[in-house]
Structure 1
């Protein structure tokens, strides 16, 4: 209970201070867009890391040495908890745009930060709008923007860490059309922090494992059609290793 209260208090303080920090970000962006991106990513990552400490998430990263450096990439992760975004985005190696559901836009200050990070908002009921978002992501990736997606489309509520939903192949167009590498990411243990103990937060161990980057240019046409499933299988294998 105390961890939950402290986390809420920190979020409220951070969002309040953001009313000053966000205008500064826009001012920086008038002169240097990249500096604005770094500023926004750094502050949000710091806030997420503090939340991780407050809730008692003991995070272990594996395979970080594999991450592409000095180039954009598409990070593809499984999704079981609200803490997936908190703990993973805090550790991204470059300013990162998250593709999230449109409902997040209701949280004004949070959505302002996400807009500053060039995040996109999907409406699962509007296919035409979603296509537009994917095309924007392709263009952003070509310009050097790293992107993080959760291609299941929603959080998995299954008890087993290994029970993932199907990965939407449409989201893989971001990599296939832009040529950026795809990094499968397996997140293990986040559901133990909160969703399994609603409404309480419990400390726990979380493992984030980065798989070998996939260069879409090396795949044949059949593999490209099933790139989402390939990523899902690789993430599943990494999760199985953690379940041993």
Structure 2
């Protein structure tokens, strides 16, 4: 429980100290918006790395060479824990917004940071609102901001290598912009806390990035199955990495 307490305390203190930092960032943004964006990205990435260290996480990263360095992408990952966001965001090489459930928009201070970092909020029970969120994500990609989404729609509590069906609507961002899809397999993240809340347990987590999938390069029939194609790639990586945990 000590790790849990220290992790929560650090997060709370960071958000409180972040109030004046947000104001300073706002001033920077008036002069140079890109500098503000990058500064905010690096600050949050640092905080997430500290949380991971407090929790005793050993992180192995595979396939980083598959990340394009000259264009925004659509990250697609499996989802079993809030640590999926903490760990994967700390690795993003450039500006990246996450599509999160709309309840997080109501969390004070956290919602300000999330909006500052191009995160979007989705109500999956409202199809019209969900579509607007996806279209906004496509706009961000056109502006050079990558987007990350977990298309299972919720945290998967079943067997790690058995994914929930991917929602094909999540891939419209790539279809509308032509940006590459990056399959992202996250192994063992539930072992940190999701398997035994609220206790935090040190563990080994693997994140692997698959080769980019370019929708426009796929045959027309396969474009309609982009979700299932990406899901299969992620599932194969999860099965492969299961022996490395």
Report what 2:220 is aligned to.
221
**Is 2:76 the counterpart of 1:81?**
no
For residues 32 and 97 of structure 2, what CA distance do their matches in structure 1 show? Answer: 17
Count of aligned positions: 243
Shift of 1:229: 0.9
Structure 1 partner of 2:102: 102
Structure 2 residue matching 1:86: 3-state secondary structure:
helix
SS in structure 2 at match of 1:175: helix
- 1:93 counterpart = 2:93: yes
Q: What corresponds to 1:236 in structure 2?
A: 235
> What's the CA shift for 1:31?
2.2
Structure 1, unpaired ranges of 5+: none
2:162 counterpart of 1:166 = no
- TM-score norm. by structure 2 comes to 0.97
Gaps of 5+ in 2: none
Give 1:117's aligned residue: 117
* Counterparts of residues 59-208 of structure 1 (less than 5 Å): 59-158=59-158, 160-208=159-207
Q: What is the rounded CA distance, in whole Å, between the counterparts of 1:219 and 1:35 in structure 2?
A: 36
Tell me the SS of whatever aligns to 2:195: helix
Name the SS of the counterpart of 1:186 in structure 2: strand
Alignment of 1:14-93 (within 5 A): 14-93=14-93
| SS of structure 1 residue aligned to 2:236 | helix
Q: Please report the TM-score for the alignment, with normalisation by the length of structure 1.
A: 0.97
CA drift of 1:197 comes to 1.7
Q: Deviations over 1:206-243 (max 9, x none)?
A: 00000000111101221111111111100000000012
Partner Cα separation in structure 2 for residue 19 and residue 48 of structure 1: 17
Structure 1 runs of 4+ with >2 Å offset: none
| Range moving further from structure 2, 32-41 or 56-65 | 32-41
Counterpart-to-counterpart distance in 1, 2:114 and 2:24: 15
Shift of 1:196: 1.2
- CA deviation profile, 1:52-83 (whole Å, cap 9, x unmatched): 00001100000111111021111000000111
Task: For residue 3 of structure 2, give the secondary structure of its aligned residue in structure 1.
Answer: helix
